[in-house]
Amino acid sequence: MKVAILGMGSVGKGVASVLSSKDLGVMVTGVADSRSGLIDPDGINIGALLATKRSTGLCGSAGITAMDVVRGAPYDILIEVTPTDAVSGEPALTHIRTALTMGRHVVTSNKGPIVHALHALRSLAASKGTSIRYEATVAGAIPIMHTLADGLAGNEVLALYGVLNGTCNYILTRMAAEGLTYEQALLEAREMGYAEADPTYDVKGIDAAIKLVILANTIWGTSSCLKDVEVRGIDLVTLDALQLAEDQGCTIRLIAEADPSNRILRVSPRILRSRHPLVTEGTLNAITLVTDLAGEITLMGKGAGSVETASAIIGDLLAIRSRYGRCD
């Protein structure tokens, strides 16, 4: 199976290093970052690629663009892991549309195109006999899409509740445990690499709202968008409020909730008892699905991180291979 990787940030490097350290039968024939690209039909040496990226900041030659890789590299699956632009979805949307139009499969962690155009991209993929998978867009390593599609197939999902932003959870955890101020905890979260390039996406609840829309549209086939979500972030949560909650055996978490029967699509800070299943520590995400057959199912795991997000990408790659054959 041949893949091309667009994006050599934290997720792209994570995917590349997993593919070089595990023998999964996956060959990388193209890579691109925002300033350079590399195509090798015989397979790129990933160790050398990562070393070059570390020393020069580039993954290949400045004359090769991401679109050159999309159009010119011989791959079965495009791995689109460039940074999210939640406003336009671009340039990832164009990369993905082009690859699908060319009859290639797509796996992405990029929330922009999925929140904007999930159903259109799925229709395009279906018309070409290919697929688009996006496990890594929501809750990092947690296999929520696989669980919905396979493990809970036949269930009706009635509602969902979740902690979908690791940065906010980390900040609230650090404030409550160590008495850090919001500003100190945010600085830590940025230094640890959890936050988005623009951390207002995290702390104002926008990142969680985007993930909620992706989940809701996937589960219920709706066409909700960001403006349909009632959003409040954690930027106004004070240390005093947290300590007051803690004194009463409770804490505060940023909870995303979707409940179609009550027309709820909301992200907001909520007071929860400390032993509530959604009270996770640090960057851990958690999702409770309320279903008709299985009852309540709560999944918990790492919501961000290079290798953790790569885990979701690799799961999608291997799912495509098992569904469509070895592609080689």
* Count of residues near ligand HSE by CB under 6 A: 11
Closest CB to ligand HSE among residues 52, 298: 298
Residue 202 structure tokens: 């995290």
CA distance 98 to 94: 6
CB of 279 to ligand HSE, least distance (A): 16
CA distance 303 to 207: 12
> Binding marks (x or -) toward ligand HSE, 138..177, rule CB under 6 A?
--x------------------------xxx----------
Closest CB to ligand HSE among residues 69, 312: 312
Residues in the chain: 328
80 touching ligand HSE, by CB under 6 A: no
Closest CB to ligand HSE among residues 49, 255: 255
Q: Which stretch binds ligand HSE (CB under 6 A): 38-46, 60-68, 99-107, 195-203?
A: 195-203
Residue 252 structure tokens: 């505060």
One residue of 145, 195, 216, 284 binding ligand HSE per CB under 6 A: 195
CB of 81 closer than 8 Å to CB of 109: yes
Which residues have CB under 8 Å from 83's CB, separation 6+? 7, 9, 110, 197
CB of 95 to ligand HSE, least distance (A): 19
CA distance 326 to 286: 33
Cα distances from 236 to residues 9, 14, 19, 41, 171, in angstroms, run 30, 34, 42, 52, 12
CB of 252 to ligand HSE, least distance (A): 17
CA distance 32 to 47: 15
HSE (side-chain half, CA atoms, 13 Å) at 1: 25
Q: 53, 211, 227, 302: which is the annotated catalytic residue? A: 211
12 touching ligand HSE, by CB under 6 A: no
> Binding marks (x or -) toward ligand HSE, 257..296, rule CB under 6 A?
----------------------------------------
CA distance 224 to 260: 11
CB of 321 to ligand HSE, least distance (A): 25
**Whether 227 is catalytic:** no
One residue of 33, 80, 135, 202 binding ligand HSE per CB under 6 A: 202
Closest CB to ligand HSE among residues 167, 288: 167
Q: Which stretch binds ligand HSE (CB under 6 A): 86-94, 121-129, 189-197, 236-244?
A: 189-197
Residue type, 200: T
CB of 194 to ligand HSE, least distance (A): 5
194 touching ligand HSE, by CB under 6 A: yes
CB of 147 to ligand HSE, least distance (A): 18
CB of 105 closer than 8 Å to CB of 76: yes
Residue 160 structure tokens: 């969902």
One residue of 172, 278, 304, 310 binding ligand HSE per CB under 6 A: 304
CA distance 119 to 8: 27
With b for 16 or more beta-carbon neighbours within 10 A and e for fewer, the 196-208 pattern comes to beebebbbbbbbb
Strands 264-273 and 132-133: unpaired
What is the footprint of ligand HSE within residues 203-242 (CB under 6 A)?
A: 207
CB of 166 to ligand HSE, least distance (A): 4
List, by residue number, the catalytic residues: 211
Q: Interface residues with ligand HSE (CB under 6 A)?
A: 140, 165-167, 194-196, 202, 207, 303-304
